[in-house]
Structure 1
């Protein structure tokens, strides 16, 4: 099950070392509104969600818990990887490349 938006925003606040007050100022809302967003007492409207995504440089899908990919840069990297041509490689070589990628992912 995906994380809820308010939990993701709390994690981003910690990561960026922002307080609720900092986020409130950036969004031009009250700190009480941020508190209600983060407690799940109040839904975040779509425009505010977009602004939060911009502030933290993440996608709205990430904020909504629909994707583990934070930024469009990560999406671009993934798309670039998928566009790499394997023409001329044997099945064994392709499998080796896939195994290497899996090893790299495990290191993270």
Structure 2
């Protein structure tokens, strides 16, 4: 059995800064079940795939290999938001100001 679904979930967990356990909790399955999905030991039912896709900000079709991985603006927004949340505490005031200026379109 191919494990493309598990690889996609694993890659998206990294991109979204989530752990397997956090994803399992958010969609209401056990960590053991999530592990089996990621390792290709089980295939999740449709509603579970839809929940995983929602939490990871992708289309269910992408998880199932039926869509491309083209980045959409919403996914890019969530990835950027997470990166900012993880790193902003380490930035200088100038770096923060530069980011705000970039968002509002001002030149620094």
What is the TM-score normalised by the length of structure 2? 0.60
Tell me the residue number matched to 2:36.
36
Residues 21 and 31, structure 1, Cα contact 8 Å, conserved in 2: yes
Mark the runs of 5 or more structure 1 residues left unpaired by the alignment.
75-108
Secondary structure of the residue that 1:68 maps to in structure 2? Answer: coil
Secondary structure of the residue that 1:34 maps to in structure 2? Answer: helix
| Higher Rg of the two aligned structures | 1
Tell me the residue number matched to 2:52.
52
Cα displacement string for residues 26-63 of structure 1 (whole angstroms, at most 9, x for unaligned residues): 01111111111111001110000001111111111111
Tell me the residue number matched to 2:18.
18
Give 1:73 deviation, angstroms. Answer: 5.6
Displacement over 6 Å in runs of 4+: none
Mark the runs of 5 or more structure 2 residues left unpaired by the alignment.
75-108
Cα displacement string for residues 71-107 of structure 1 (whole angstroms, at most 9, x for unaligned residues): 7768xxxxxxxxxxxxxxxxxxxxxxxxxxxxxxxxx
Tell me the residue number matched to 1:9.
9
Tell me the residue number matched to 1:27.
27
2: CA distance, partners of 1:70 / 1:60: 13
Q: CA RMSD in A?
A: 2.3
What is the TM-score normalised by the length of structure 1? 0.60
